[in-house]
Amino acid sequence: MILSAVFSKPSKTCQEIFGKPYIKIRIWKNPSPSAKTQNKFQAEFFTEKQAFQKSFTAEQAQEFIEKHAGTAFKNCIVKTDTEEITTMANKKGEIKVFRKATKNFSTEQKFSNNFNRIKNYILQEGNPVPFLIELGVMTKDGKVVAQKYDKFRQIKLSPLSRHFV
């Protein structure tokens, strides 16, 4: 099932095909759960100064992508629930298609992984560092002082400061 598509790098025939000088087209599946818009796709057609919107059914979106990928636009990236399909055309008109499998995560997993992941800092919290204790950023047991946590995140070890750790 198609989730989104992006067309870029218009060919010389793009204006003849569409009637307007589009530079980019984005198509995406409507996320609304209502039955009325469940199989609807939204499209946005960009010119230099304007954007035009249009709605498609799933079949119309599929037909549009198949018809114009590599012809009206030289680049097209289609994302489905299982893979990412990249279609590219060169100046001679030769079309190449590349497929890349995508990881299948639920939306809930994606958000929870991004917000609750463990941060990878140069200096880890819990390991006491003498100069940070002297500056008042850490306590003697290696815990970062709450009011100084922003400063702790900013610290980058330079070659000189490595000697003090």
Give the span between the Cα atoms of 126 and 143, in whole angstroms. 5
Residue carrying structure tokens 């198609």: 2
Q: CA 48, 53, 58, 59 torsion: positive or negative?
A: negative
**Whether residue 80 has pLDDT greater than 70:** yes
Mean pLDDT to the nearest integer, 45-63: 90
Residue carrying structure tokens 């025939």: 13
**Whether residue 115 has pLDDT greater than 70:** no
pLDDT at 46 (0 to 100): 93
Measured between its terminal Cα atoms, the distance across the chain in Å is: 53
Q: Tell me which long-range contacts 80-89 makes (C-beta under 8 A, separation of at least 24).
A: 80/1, 80/2, 80/3, 81/1, 81/3, 89/11
Give the span between the Cα atoms of 74 and 70, in whole angstroms. 5
Give the span between the Cα atoms of 147 and 110, in whole angstroms. 30
pLDDT at 71 (0 to 100): 85
Considering the entire predicted model, what is its pTM?
0.59
- Alpha helices (H) along 3-106: 14-18, 58-68
Average pLDDT of the residues of the chain: 81
pLDDT at 120 (0 to 100): 65
Mean pLDDT to the nearest integer, 9-15: 88
Q: CA distances (Å), 25 to each of 28, 53, 79, 96, 135, in order?
A: 10, 10, 14, 20, 54
Residue 6's closest CA among 84, 93, 94, 105? 84
**Whether residue 103 has pLDDT greater than 80:** no
Range in 15-19, 24-28, 63-67, 112-116 the model is least confident about: 112-116
Mean pLDDT to the nearest integer, 14-42: 81
